[in-house]
């Protein structure tokens, strides 16, 4: 159960940050250059889903570690996933050039 | 008005960050290593067996008691550190004799003492995080406190100065000179901001009795006695026991351990302290684990050392005020962190270290570009900062590698070898600062990266040549602390080598370039603009 929940938390945080990045015009251009810009409604929806996924990963961490350690670990997990996205976006942008 | 405010915050951020930047970098490097303190301890004493954390507390206490009884029966205090988790990997005994002299010994699984080389280990390195070295205690206390305040000011002003926290959240634009350094500095700080705020604020909490001594007098009254009663309350000091002078046999410890385990769970015991063993007034203190959660205290039980009667019991959780402090300290030290959480701690603190390094480099890149565009060559301040950056950002890491090398290379019987490990470290750092001063920054960065690559890669090699526990052996034995240490050294060395390779013959890309380099870099960033 715990490894599954942990993987789910990591995936949720990764997907959440991914959606938040994709909702931004600069990163939409990097990740989906062929697509036209999002409509405001679409963008809002992606942001909402992204935030909800990040929130979901919080509860996953609490499930894995318990409330006090889980809350601490959640911040670490967010840093890891955000850094991972920065790396991915940088590499994608370099490849496009 | 608003812009004026932001500008003054930017000014404050720039200058507070610069003035104490190198000291903060030292604090962050040693603090980062502190999250691996007992792992480094173990690597630096290769004579000790791999961790004995599968030993039950009863077994550990029995072995410890038998050795102490047989060898230092007259000591006025015995302590047994029970190998319970990563924080206490070995069965270790320490005691105080009647002259208050402290001594210690490590026991193996059979209860025999293990002779290990004298070393400062990871603890010495970690203590530099708040004690520095070579400086008197009162001075470092204040210096560290001021540096922590400044760090906090730099964090808050940095957030205010950063105009586009959300817009630039995922942004890193490489190969664009100053732009890239700013992006990196921003990303590193923003993405680990909760950790950096927590670590700085809780760092201040550590120093609160030094920084706000008058608060103690306000509530407890002035004078030494009042201060003492306050600290007894905060630090849960067990009171000294006066010996009765009447000899009495010490109670059998095993039932006491069983009682504590029944209370806290099997194996959840970190320390057993015995005051005045062999006296009618003997006391036995049993302490639980610190690693249960961020609250940095352990539950405890005190027994009569002759009858075995439970005298009093203390819960881990105390008053609200003490709990608040203990949670901050616990979060700062992360003793409760298992492997994955420890990795998160490491990642965040490495990001903090890199945040300071990029900030320092950014300061020079900005000014160097301005100087170069005006056609002015050297400004003394910029030149000085450029060289201090090379000698610290790379040089300090080389010094750490030298600390590890010295541990393996100084002969075991060398007088004061533990101190010389540290001297070697600071000599190496001094040498790197001198080297940085003699070379141009471009040469300095490149050459010190080469030196770092060699020094870090040499650590596992020297380890293999001087001990039995080389990397292949560690991997085969599944000794992940040793293997992990060697692999981390290789990874660090290869990273330094990659940077050195990247900087080869390319003055344009080194952090604080020459005039020609800066021009080329500016041209590149102009042409890259859409």
Task: Give the tens place of pLDDT for each residue, B400-451.
Answer: 999 999 999 999 999 999 999 999 999 999 999 999 999 999 999 999 999 9
Task: Check whether residue B115 and residue B242 sit in a common domain.
Answer: yes
Give the minimum alpha-carbon distance from A37 to chain B in angstroms, rounded to a whole number. Answer: 16
**Domain total of chain B:** 2
User: B400 and B508 share a domain?
Assistant: yes
| DSSP letters for B166-179 | TTTTT----S-THH
The verdict on ipTM greater than 0.90 is yes
Do residues B402 and B518 share a domain? yes
Greatest alpha-carbon pair distance for chain B in Å reads 90
pLDDT average, residue stretch A44-49: 97
Closest to B349 measured CA to CA, from B27, B122, B132, B121: B27
Output the pLDDT for position B507: 55
Backbone angles phi, psi at A65, to 5 degrees: -110, -10
Total structural domains in chain A?
1
Q: What pLDDT is recorded for position B509? A: 42
**Regions of chain B where pLDDT drops below 50:** 508-530
Query: Residue B315's domain spans which residues?
Result: 52-119+230-333
Do A21 and B191 count as a contact with CB atoms less than 8 A apart? no
Using DSSP bridges, classify how beta strands B283-288 and B91-96 pair: parallel, antiparallel or unpaired.
unpaired
| pLDDT computed for residue B223 by the predictor | 78
Considering the domain architecture, whether residues B525 and B395 belong to the same structural domain is answered as: yes
Is B366 a domain residue?
Answer: no
B386 shares a domain with B507: yes
Separation between Cα atoms, residue B313 and residue B242, nearest integer Å: 21
Residue A68 banded pLDDT, cuts 50, 70, 90: confident
Which of B300, B318, B333 is a domain's end point? Answer: B333
Which value, in Å, is the radius of gyration of the alpha carbons in chain A?
15
Residue window 264-303, chain B: list those with CB within 8 Å of chain A. 293-295
pLDDT attached to residue B295: 85
Please give the pLDDT value at position B529: 33
Last residue of a domain, one of B311, B333, B355: B333
- B340 interface with A at CB cutoff 8 Å: yes
Which of B166, B170, B190 should be substituted to probe chain A, the one whose Cβ sees the most A Cβ atoms within 10 Å? B170
B322, B437: one domain: no
Do B309 and B418 share a domain, yes or no?
A: no
pLDDT (tens digit per residue) in B85-123: 888 889 999 999 888 889 999 999 889 999 889 999 999
**Measured between CB atoms, which of A26, A69, A79 is closest to B171?**
A26
- B258 with B391, same domain: the answer is no
Question: Does residue B489 share a domain with residue B383?
Answer: yes
Q: Which two tokens stand for residue B482?
A: 């040793």
CB of A42 within 8 Å of a chain B CB? The answer is no
Structure tokens at B271: 């320390």
Structural domain contains residue B470:
yes
**Cβ neighbours of A86 in B, within 8 Å:** 170-172, 187, 191
Q: Which domain holds residue A38?
A: 2-96
Q: To 5 degrees, how large is the angle CA B413–CA B417–CA B423?
A: 155
Residues B321 and B382 in one domain: no
Which residues in B lie closer than 8 A to residue A82 (C-beta atoms)? 169-170, 191
pLDDT at B230: 79
- B396 and B271 in a single domain? The answer is no
Residue B37 in domain: no
Q: Please measure the distance between the N-terminal and C-terminal CA atoms of chain B and give it in whole angstroms.
A: 33
Subunit contact B293:A21, Cβ cutoff 8 A = no
B320 and B428 part of one domain = no
Domain membership flag for residue B128? no
Bigger pLDDT: B511 or A29?
A: A29
């Amino acid at each position: 159960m715990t490894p599954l929940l942990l993987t789910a938390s990591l995936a949720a945080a990764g997907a959440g940050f991914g959606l938040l990045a994709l909702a931004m015009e600069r990163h939409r251009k990097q990740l989906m250059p062929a697509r036209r810009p999002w409509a405001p409604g679409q963008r809002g929806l992606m942001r909402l889903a992204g935030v909800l996924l990040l929130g979901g990963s919080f509860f996953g961490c609490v499930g894995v570690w318990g409330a006090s350690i889980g809350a601490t670990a959640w911040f670490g997990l967010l840093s890891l996933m955000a850094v991972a996205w920065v790396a991915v976006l940088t590499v994608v942008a370099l490849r496009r050039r | 008005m608003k812009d004026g405010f932001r500008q003054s915050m930017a000014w404050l951020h720039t200058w507070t960050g610069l003035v104490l930047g190198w000291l903060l970098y030292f604090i962050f490097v040693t603090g980062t290593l502190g999250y691996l303190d007992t792992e480094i301890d173990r690597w630096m004493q290769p004579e000790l067996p791999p961790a004995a954390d599968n030993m039950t507390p009863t077994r550990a206490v029995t072995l410890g008691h038998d050795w102490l009884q047989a060898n230092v029966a007259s000591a006025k205090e015995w302590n047994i550190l029970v190998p319970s988790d990563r924080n206490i990997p070995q069965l270790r005994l320490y005691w105080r004799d009647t002259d208050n002299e402290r001594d210690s010994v490590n026991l193996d699984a059979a209860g025999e003492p293990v002779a290990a080389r004298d070393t400062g280990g990871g603890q010495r390195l970690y203590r530099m995080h708040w004690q520095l070295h070579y400086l008197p205690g009162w001075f470092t206390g204040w210096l560290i406190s001021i540096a922590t305040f400044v760090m906090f000011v730099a964090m808050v002003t940095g957030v205010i100065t950063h105009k586009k926290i959300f817009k630039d959240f995922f942004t890193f634009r490489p190969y664009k000179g100053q732009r890239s350094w700013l992006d990196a500095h921003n990303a590193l700080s923003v993405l680990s901001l909760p950790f950096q705020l927590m670590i700085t604020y809780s760092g201040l909490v550590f120093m609160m009795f030094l920084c706000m001594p008058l608060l103690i007098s306000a509530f407890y009254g002035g004078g030494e006695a009042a201060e003492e009663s306050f600290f007894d309350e905060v630090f849960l000091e067990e009171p000294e026991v006066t010996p009765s002078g009447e000899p009495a046999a010490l109670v059998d410890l095993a039932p006491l351990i069983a009682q504590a385990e029944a209370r806290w769970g099997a194996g959840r015991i970190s320390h057993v302290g015995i005051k005045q063993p062999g006296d009618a007034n003997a006391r036995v203190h049993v302490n639980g684990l610190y690693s249960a959660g961020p609250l940095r205290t352990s539950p405890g039980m005190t027994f009569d050392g002759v009858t075995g009667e439970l005298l009093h019991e203390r819960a881990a959780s105390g008053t609200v005020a003490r709990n608040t402090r203990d949670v901050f300290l616990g979060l700062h030290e992360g003793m409760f962190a298992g492997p994955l959480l420890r990795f998160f701690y490491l990642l965040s603190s490495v990001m903090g270290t890199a945040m300071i390094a990029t900030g320092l480099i950014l300061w020079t890149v900005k000014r160097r570009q301005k100087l170069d565009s005006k056609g002015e060559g050297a400004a003394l301040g910029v030149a000085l900062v450029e060289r201090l950056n090379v000698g610290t950002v790379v040089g300090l890491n080389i010094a750490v590698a030298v600390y590890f090398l010295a541990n393996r290379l100084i002969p075991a019987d060398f007088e004061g070898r533990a101190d010389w490990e540290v001297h070697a470290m600071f000599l190496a750092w001094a040498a790197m600062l001198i080297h940085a001063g003699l070379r141009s920054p471009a040469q300095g960065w490149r050459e010190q990266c080469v030196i770092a690559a060699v020094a870090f890669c040499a650590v596992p090699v020297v380890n293999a040549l001087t001990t039995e526990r080389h990397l292949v052996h560690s991997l085969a034995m599944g000794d992940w602390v040793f293997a992990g240490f060697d692999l981390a050294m290789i990874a660090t060395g290869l990273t330094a080598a990659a940077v050195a390779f990247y900087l080869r013959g390319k003055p344009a890309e080194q952090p604080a370039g020459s005039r020609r380099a800066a021009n080329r870099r500016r041209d590149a960033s102009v042409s890259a603009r859409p």
